[in-house]
Structure 1
């Protein structure tokens, strides 16, 4: 039996944001007047002109006391010290790796900022420099922490903790960094049999449940020979589609919202979660559960 093909007209497109959140915040466009300058202080995403405070980017207004700023809906990642990020190695250089972290410039991971295999502590030698491509090579995905932010906005990373390092089998999901809710914990072992890493830079890593007691070889170990069972792959695929659905509905992504969306998606097949009507339904049900949790 041939597979079904769905062809949708332009008139059938769904506005995900309006369908999910009836109280849609006002979106300011560049050059639009926000308020009078003499009443408030100027924050990020604003500028002063002819006594008025105007938006310099498209986004929603954030007001803290007398400080007004505009948070852009779509932007590159602006790193801060201590952020957990997921990146892809783009180049191996002398004593450093270049890493794509969804920011304006490539980030830097120094050879001295990684754990050596076996976790031994010593100065890096010329032999370690020659072995760099065996540790990490182009195309490898890593989790790391922002150690420093340079003047030009580029980031310096480190993976000195064993919870950071090369990522093994899993799925990478890319969303806008503004949709990632800031929290203290970025590594989550969900009770549904999968683990997620919520990178501050908008990259989310979904993988089978991580065994924290399993020894790691300096953050370079991979389980590429391990066979992932079909139920685990289905769970990862469903989680991926749930995250994409919440992102299309412009909902904040954190462990609770993702878990609620997963539970509400069980009435659908994994492939059905790609249909616009299912995406809107999933967003509405997830938003209702979050609202009930906040009101209780």
Structure 2
């Protein structure tokens, strides 16, 4: 569990300590749930034929851990999965980043990696929607698409031969993000899932769980349907233009028309993510919505979600839930 930094009374600190002990020391006795530190002997794996995987080593005939983490076993393979790791990009990862420089034919994007990611002009959908070679006119109009401090969503294309990390945004679901909040968390809290784009229709909010630890919560933006728009060529061109405009002029028009309820939902969801991130819980759609709805059921104001009492109650509830599951 990560260290949390908020004011707590003595009684709250005692309650939080008890919940923390329950979360750090699970009651399950299965070998796959054993937490180990560096140089700890991994119990139950002294039989012959054991294959030592990542995070393990052989010392005086015993299997010891070389990393802090959780012991996992796959058939005869024993490995240690670290609880905290830095973000390691993989092809196809959905990431959220912030543009910090507009260079020649490329944007430099901060994606919480140890180097800047490159989004090439050739890897972007053009405003006219036509597949063609990029010209000098396109390069001069790069700032009309993205400029410094813009928050964008993109997909990891991969590493090039020179070691640079490249992104791409060729699909209509990628692009500029506006009218929302960017929450920065640790990348290990966001697990790879089938879906990272979530439209919460009942709240009028879109949420993107970036695998790099950057999470976006903002006003829902309708994506025009490419079907049934007349002629195929003209329809695709008009749709692409409307998509590009939706990240610019259309969202500008929504800035003043966003209802108070939607803005409150955005703030409450963002605070729910901040609470779960500070407590070190994995950030899934189900857990975020559960924390969101729990704050409403408990009549917790949005600003009070970041107070010590709400942190303690969420930790206690999660500890009770895990204990009940382990006793089943």
TM-score range, shorter chain: 0.7 to 0.9
- The aligned residue for residue 263 of structure 1 is 293
1:66-88 C-alpha deviation (Å, 9 max, x unpaired): 33333333332101111100011
Higher relative contact order (CA 8 A, sep 6+): 2
Q: Could you tell me how far 1:203 is from its partner in structure 2?
A: 0.9
Relative distance call for 1:41 and 1:17 in structure 2 (3 A) is farther
- Does structure 2 retain, via aligned residues, the 8 Å contact 1:246–1:283? no
Relative distance call for 1:99 and 1:184 in structure 2 (3 A) is same
Q: List aligned pairs for 1:219-238, cutoff 5 A.
A: 220-221=247-248, 223-225=251-253, 226-227=255-256, 228-238=258-268
Consecutive unaligned residues of structure 2, counting only runs of 5 or more, are: 1-5, 28-32, 226-241
Q: CA RMSD in A?
A: 3.3
- Does structure 1 retain, via aligned residues, the 8 Å contact 2:203–2:262? no
- The aligned residue for residue 186 of structure 1 is 196
| Higher mean C-alpha displacement, 71-80 vs 113-122 | 71-80
- Does structure 2 retain, via aligned residues, the 8 Å contact 1:179–1:252? yes
Q: Aligned pair 1:96/2:135, yes or no?
A: no
- Identify the structure with the greater helix proportion: 2
Q: List aligned pairs for 1:167-246, cutoff 5 A.
A: 167-190=177-200, 191-213=202-224, 215-217=242-244, 220-221=247-248, 223-225=251-253, 226-227=255-256, 228-246=258-276
- Does structure 2 retain, via aligned residues, the 8 Å contact 1:163–1:219? no
Query: Using the alignment, how far apart are the partners of 2:92 and 2:277 within structure 1?
Result: 24
Relative distance call for 1:119 and 1:42 in structure 2 (3 A) is farther
Relative distance call for 1:57 and 1:163 in structure 2 (3 A) is same
Give the number of aligned pairs. 291
- The aligned residue for residue 236 of structure 2 is none
- The aligned residue for residue 3 of structure 2 is none
- The aligned residue for residue 30 of structure 2 is none
Counterpart of 2:54 (choices 22, 25, 44) is: 44
| Higher mean C-alpha displacement, 48-57 vs 69-78 | 48-57
- Does structure 2 retain, via aligned residues, the 8 Å contact 1:187–1:195? yes
Q: Could you tell me how far 1:117 is from its partner in structure 2?
A: 1.1
Q: Aligned pair 1:127/2:146, yes or no?
A: no
1:203-253 C-alpha deviation (Å, 9 max, x unpaired): 110002232338311785361342232222211111111111222232221
Which protein is bigger by CA-based radius of gyration? Answer: 2
- Does structure 1 retain, via aligned residues, the 8 Å contact 2:154–2:169? yes
Q: Aligned pair 1:163/2:169, yes or no?
A: no
Relative distance call for 1:22 and 1:150 in structure 2 (3 A) is same
- Does structure 2 retain, via aligned residues, the 8 Å contact 1:260–1:286? no
TM-score normalized with structure 2 length = 0.76
- Does structure 2 retain, via aligned residues, the 8 Å contact 1:87–1:141? yes
Query: Using the alignment, how far apart are the partners of 2:68 and 2:245 within structure 1?
Result: 43
Counterpart of 1:28 (choices 17, 21, 36) is: 36
Relative distance call for 1:143 and 1:49 in structure 2 (3 A) is farther
Consecutive unaligned residues of structure 1, counting only runs of 5 or more, are: 1-5
